[in-house]
Amino acid sequence: MGAWGVKLYQDDITIEVKEYYIDRLKRGAKDDELTQEMFQTFKEYMDDVDDSGLFWFALADVQWDYGRLEEFVRENALYHIRLGHDLSKWIDSDKYNNRKKILSELEIKLQMNQPKIKKVLGYRFYRCDWNIGDVFAIKFESEESKISNSFGKYMIFQKVDNTISYPGHTVPVVRVFKWMGDILPKIDIIHELTVMPSFFSPVVYVKNYSKQRGQRRKTILYNMSIDYTAKRFVHKNLVYLGNSLPIRILDRIDSNTRNIYWKHLEDELLRTYSSWKDFNVYDLLDEKIISIEKDS
């Protein structure tokens, strides 16, 4: 755990405590039960002399903001402020006085009357309405596509599964075909296309990779989830091609999924296609190709 500034939420622990508390409120946790849950969840911090103050500072502050500050929490936060252990960690820093000011402000705040209980709106989870097996084409329109002479061209992907994106959105898992063109192909052509690996470049599958740079990959990462929280974020230039294409049975699959946001999808597809257009991943794994001079 580490701090990158003197402010209350410029520390890993305080951010974690605050975000956890708000997340549980949004999921409908009851106030008295939530406090006990916080004690159980963050017991490791509470029992650590270096971290306990940070836990109490964050919990007291976020409870106050939501009008839910419990007296026991207030007393513990004030105790740790006045104990001075956290401040002592900054004694040799030129930011000591700034940290002291932050804690003094928190001390004053916690002794003020807290606001009325703030109503907390629960999450509104988005669920992708695509069906498993749906095939889409995406038409490139990004600046990167102009640079790579791919503007206006298409690539194709198929939804193969769903996954849950924090804090509970259901988003599609897709596999991308190794194809790029100016005119959309018919579905029988797509049947013949190869599914393209996701994220990793060909060099990590080469036999001599482990000797030169690290662990050689023995399984293939195919799945990519597209993360979004509302339909308005979906790429505007999508073309639905149908649902008659069977999901391909693939060998030596990595069980993990590469996560990407819609706004980065074009650039990710262009980069991946550029890397893999001249390579077959199974040729690399089966050592039909044993070296690549440059990263692809």
Give 130-150 pLDDT, tens digit per residue: 999 999 999 999 999 999 999
User: What pLDDT shows up at residue 295?
Assistant: 44
User: What pLDDT shows up at residue 213?
Assistant: 66
User: What pLDDT shows up at residue 209?
Assistant: 81
Closest C-alpha to 250, from 282, 217, 292, 204: 282
Q: How confident is the model at residue 296 (pLDDT cuts 50, 70, 90)?
A: very low
Q: 155 is written with which tokens?
A: 């690539």
Q: How confident is the model at residue 243 (pLDDT cuts 50, 70, 90)?
A: very high
Distance CA 225, CA 169 (A): 12
User: What pLDDT shows up at residue 2?
Assistant: 77
Closest C-alpha to 176, from 243, 140, 216, 221: 221
Average pLDDT over residues 103-121: 96
Distance CA 34, CA 25 (A): 8
User: What pLDDT shows up at residue 113?
Assistant: 96
Q: Bigger pLDDT: 250 or 232?
A: 250
Average pLDDT over residues 31-37: 94
Largest CA distance in the chain: 73
Q: If DSSP codes are grouped into helix, strand and coil, which group holds residue 117?
A: coil
Q: Are strands 169-177 and 135-139 parallel, antiparallel or unpaired?
A: unpaired
Q: Residue 228 in contact with residue 162, Cβ under 8 Å?
A: no
Average pLDDT over residues 219-240: 88
Q: How confident is the model at residue 231 (pLDDT cuts 50, 70, 90)?
A: confident
pTM: 0.74
Distance CA 277, CA 296 (A): 9
Q: Residue 145 in contact with residue 264, Cβ under 8 Å?
A: no
Percentage of the chain surpassing pLDDT 70? 97
Average of per-residue pLDDT values in the chain: 92
User: What pLDDT shows up at residue 210?
Assistant: 67
Residue 1 has pLDDT above 60, yes or no: no
